[in-house]
Amino acid sequence: MTGETQAPLLRISALTKRFGGFTALDNVSVDIPAGERFGLIGPNGSGKTTLINCISGAFRTEPGTVTFRDEDITRLQPHVRTRRGIARSFQIPRPFRSMTVAENLMVALDFAAATDDVVSAIDRRDTMMSILTRMGLASKANVSATKLSQVELRKMELARAMATHPKLLISDEAMAGLSSSEVDEVLDLLMSLAGQDITIIMIEHIMQAVMRFSDRVMCLEAGKIIAIGTPNEVMANQRVQEAYLGT
């Protein structure tokens, strides 16, 4: 698509999130343009997952606004945001355990993808199979979600997110706990998705993956942005090194 407006796909303005007396996010503002591969890093507890919970709608924010495709979505429920085009995976995979892999994707196709146009059941099956094939899960279509390996679960979460037909995909540590060859596999998948006009926010602890993947990296510490820029700039930043390695 070339006719995009100049406004960023996602704009986060002055976002603050408190849990009781604890400030998990402190006045965070960032713009993410369409098509960007955005890496989000930071030590444990720095607010990465809180930030994406605020973007996907699991948490309400006060104060601060989230604007997606020129629309203020701060007050929208998560399922409405999903239909607007924000999809996510979870840090700890959350499959629908009573369903097969195919059925997991059908939930997304039933509820999120078919809002624009009426799609027939056969078309939806085709869409589902093509997503599964792209994710390398076609042979697992009729397998129960409880029978999947860790890497397959990660891929299924991404596949389910893809089935919602997202404009923005948030991958929350999709590579945690995977072997290095599996990390490459998932990274390649994310790269290929990014090539298809999907903006991706990737949260990751595996630095090589973040460095390889990202156009731009943001580092959070204690709910504040301490660095933002190209991967090399951020890695060279004194405060980032301190945050990760300690002083």
Partner 1 sequence: MKRSGIYFWTGAALFLGAALLMTQVIGNQYPFFAGYVILQFIVLAVAWSILGGYAGYVNFGTAAFFGMGVYTAVFLFKAFGAPLPVQIAAAAAVGALMGFALGLLTLRMQGIFFSIATIAATIIIETAITNWRYVGGAAGIQLQRPAVTAPFDNYVEMLFFVQAMLVVLAVAVSRYIQRSWMGRGLQALKDDELAAECTGVPTLRLKLMACVISGALLCAAGAPAAMYLQYADPASAFNLNYSVSTLAMSLIGGTAHWAGPVIGAIVLGTTQQLLTVTISSEVNVLVLGVMLVLFVVAAPEGIIGLVRKIRRKRNEGEG
**In this chain, which stretch among 23-31, 84-92, 206-214, 233-241 interacts with partner 1, using CB under 8 A?**
84-92
The residue (of 84 and 216) whose beta carbon lies closer to partner 1 is 84
Q: Is 113 in the site for partner 1 (CB under 8 A)?
A: yes
Question: How many C-beta atoms lie closer than 10 Å to residue 3's C-beta?
Answer: 4
Answer positive or negative: Cα dihedral of 137, 160, 146, 180: positive
The residue (of 64 and 78) whose beta carbon lies closer to partner 1 is 78
Q: Measured between alpha carbons, how far is 194 from 98 in angstroms, rounded to an integer? A: 31
Q: Extract the tokens encoding 129.
A: 């199979």
Q: Is 111 in the site for partner 1 (CB under 8 A)?
A: yes
Q: Is 141 in the site for partner 1 (CB under 8 A)?
A: no
Q: Is 97 in the site for partner 1 (CB under 8 A)?
A: yes
- Is it true that the peptide bond before 63 is cis, omega within 30 degrees of 0? yes
Instruction: Tell which one of 58, 206, 207, 222 touches partner 1 (CB under 8 A).
Output: 58
**Shortest approach of partner 1 to residue 214 CB, angstroms?**
23
Q: What is the 3-state secondary structure (H, E, C) of 193-239?
A: HHCCCCEEEEECCCHHHHHHHCCEEEEEECCEEEEEECHHHHHHCHH
Total residues binding partner 1 (CB under 8 A): 29
The pattern of x and - marking residues 5 through 44 that bind partner 1 according to CB under 8 A reads ----------------------------------------
C-alpha distances (whole Å) from 19 to each of 12, 60, 69 are 19, 11, 28
Q: What DSSP designation does 38 have? A: E
Instruction: Tell which one of 10, 24, 40, 108 touches partner 1 (CB under 8 A).
Output: 108
The residues of the shown chain that bind partner 1, judged by CB under 8 A, are: 56-58, 77-80, 82-83, 87-88, 90, 94-99, 103, 106-108, 110-113, 160-161, 164
